[in-house]
């Protein structure tokens, strides 16, 4: 099974109540309904996206009740593990009837916290059939549902319906500020505040602060449409490139992506030990790239080098590589042979005596 598909555990205890047996009391006895079957039918498939896409079709699972009245799986272990998802649950045992219902199995249903069918099943009717019929008859006496002074109907989502079967919204009506009674007056400007009694919340000279507070100047300056428009006119026009740059963090070199709407920080790095990069992100100065001095070992295979006998000594070959050729050029016929000569790769040239 793909790792992305999880399982949950379901438990259940099913007992029957029978007449009193040969025990000390006279109360009904409990009997395990051994052999009763519980069938779990999945309602939908499972789609897995990682690590590779797959569709998982859970099979119908049938479990039984053991001699102790407990749900057991095909291996006689207590409880039934199911792939997570929604299931229709059906019960079967001669002489009894339990309503089918749905359950939702999740990975939170573990050995320690399984899903118990007794707790997951919906509650039964709260009224006996004859009492329920009496209540329905009383409701019908009020006239059609949704009629004036009648009974309101509900739709599947619990919304109240009117007489035409349309959900009722905004039942409280609508209100406007002008229509509200006893509302406080709101001044149009600081000059409209007017004189206030001593000790009140504010005075006309103090604006909207209490007498004992540090007071600002009179409320004579406030924003206008003209001032806001003038301020907005001087702002930078929104651009995707600026938004992309604003989304980067840290310092260094910043580049735009191919689309021009994404931005990234970059650092100059060396791909070989021959190059040394200092301050690669440019955050503390210009990036500096230093190339190390070349050596014979940097030459490609098949290269040819030349060494000479100078001032009584041979120039050093500089490497033991056999995939390059070294031509040794003697000054005289009596010059000694080089000591780092590689047989099979190098050549020694001397003038004729």
What is the 3-state composition of the chain as percent helix, strand, coil, each rounded to the nearest 5? 10, 25, 65
Q: Predicted confidence band at 51 (pLDDT cuts at 50, 70, 90)?
A: confident
| Residue 234 pLDDT grade (very low, low, confident, very high; cuts 50, 70, 90) | confident
| Count of CB atoms situated within 10 Å of the CB of 245 | 14
Helix (H, G, I), strand (E, B) or coil at 313: strand
- Condensed to tens digits (0 to 9), the pLDDT of residues 163-176 reads 677 777 655 556 67
In angstroms, rounded to a whole number, what is the distance separating the alpha carbons of residues 283 and 267?
Answer: 10
Percent of the chain scored above 70 by pLDDT? Answer: 78
The answer to whether 89 and 101 are in contact (CB under 8 A) is yes
The three-class DSSP label of residue 132 is helix
pLDDT at 48 over 90: no
CA torsion 337-339-342-346 (nearest 10°) is -40
pLDDT at 62 over 90: yes
| Whole-number average pLDDT of the chain | 79
Quick one: tokens of 345?
Answer: 């790769």
The C-alpha torsion from 250 through 252 and 258 to 262, rounded to 10°, is 20
Least confident of 123-127, 164-168, 241-245: 123-127
Contacts of 25 (CB under 8 A, 6+ apart): none
Domain boundaries, the chain: 7-120, 240-293, 296-349
pLDDT band for 64, please (50, 70, 90 cuts).
very high
Rg (the chain; Cα; Å): 46
When comparing pLDDT for 350 and 201, which is higher?
A: 350
How is the beta sheet containing 7-11 ordered, strand by strand? Answer: 80-83, 7-11, 115-116
Q: Are strands 80-83 and 7-11 parallel, antiparallel or unpaired?
A: antiparallel
Place of tokens 């709407």: 261
CA distance 304 to 317: 11
CB 323 within 8 A of CB 351: no
* Banded model confidence at residue 117, pLDDT cuts 50, 70, 90: very high
Q: How far apart are CA 159 and CA 146, in angstroms?
A: 12
* Secondary structure of residue 120 in the 3-state scheme: helix
Q: What is the pLDDT of residues 184-220, one digit of tens each?
A: 777 666 666 666 666 655 544 544 444 454 444 444 4
Helices (H), 74-176: 117-120, 129-140
d(CA 236, CA 243): 12
Whether the per-residue pLDDT at 116 is higher than 50: the answer is yes
* CA pair distance 99, 90, nearest whole angstrom: 7
Give residue-wise pLDDT tens across range 133-160: 676 677 677 666 666 666 777 766 667 7
Q: What is the DSSP letter of 13?
A: B
The predicted-structure confidence for 246-303, as pLDDT tens digits, reads as follows 777 777 778 778 787 777 788 888 887 778 888 888 878 888 988 887 788 888 999 9
What is the CATH code of the structural domain delimited by 7-120? 2.60.40
User: Nearest 5°: CA angle at 152, between 148 and 158?
Assistant: 155
Given pLDDT bands bounded at 50, 70 and 90, which one contains residue 102? very high
DSSP H or E stretch at residue 31: strand 29-32
41 pairs with which residues across the strands? 88
Residue ranges of the alpha helices (H) in the chain? 117-120, 129-140, 225-233, 240-246
In the predicted model, what is the mean pLDDT of residues 323-348? Answer: 91
What is the DSSP annotation of 241-291?
HHHHHHT--SSSEEEE-TTSS-EEEE----SSTTEEEESTT-TTS--EEEE
| Average pLDDT, integer, range 4-22 | 86
Reply yes or no on whether the pLDDT at 11 is more than 90.
yes
Q: Which residue has the higher pLDDT, 49 or 283?
A: 283
DSSP single-letter state for residue 226: H
Q: Give mean pLDDT, residues 299-321.
A: 92
């Amino acid at each position: 099974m793909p790792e992305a598909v999880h399982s949950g555990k379901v438990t259940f205890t099913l007992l029957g109540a029978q007449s009193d047996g040969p025990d000390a009391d006279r109360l009904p006895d409990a009997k395990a309904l051994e052999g009763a079957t519980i069938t779990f039918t999945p309602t939908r498939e499972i789609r897995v996206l990682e690590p590779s896409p797959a569709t998982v079709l859970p099979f119908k699972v049938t479990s039984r009740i053991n001699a102790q009245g407990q749900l057991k799986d095909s291996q006689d272990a207590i409880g039934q593990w199911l792939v997570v998802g929604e299931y229709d649950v059906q019960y079967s045992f001669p002489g009894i009837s339990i309503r089918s219902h749905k359950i939702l199995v999740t990975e939170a249903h573990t050995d320690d916290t399984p899903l118990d069918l007794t707790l997951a099943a919906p509650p039964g009717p709260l009224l006996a059939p004859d009492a329920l019929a009496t209540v329905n008859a009383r409701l019908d006496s009020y006239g059609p549902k949704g009629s004036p002074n009648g009974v309101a109907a509900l739709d599947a989502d619990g919304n109240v319906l009117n007489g035409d079967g349309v959900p009722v919204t905004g039942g409280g009506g609508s209100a406007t500020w002008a229509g509200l009674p006893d509302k406080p007056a709101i001044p149009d400007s600081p000059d409209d505040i007017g004189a206030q009694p001593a000790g009140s919340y504010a005075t006309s000279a103090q604006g909207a602060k209490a007498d004992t507070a540090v007071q600002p100047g009179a409320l004579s300056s406030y924003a206008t449409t003209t001032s806001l428009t003038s301020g907005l006119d001087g702002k930078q026009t929104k651009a995707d490139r600026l938004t992309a740059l604003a989304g980067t963090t840290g310092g260094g070199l910043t580049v735009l992506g191919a689309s021009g709407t994404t931005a990234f920080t970059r650092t100059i790095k060396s791909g070989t030990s021959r190059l040394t990069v200092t301050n690669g992100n440019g955050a503390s100065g210009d990036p500096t790239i230093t190339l190390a001095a070349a050596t014979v070992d940097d030459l490609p295979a098949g290269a040819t080098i030349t060494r000479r006998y100078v001032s009584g000594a041979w120039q050093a070959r500089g490497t033991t590589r056999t995939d390059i050729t070294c031509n040794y050029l003697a000054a005289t016929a009596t010059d000694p042979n080089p000591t780092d000569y590689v047989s099979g790769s190098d050549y020694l040239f001397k003038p004729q005596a």
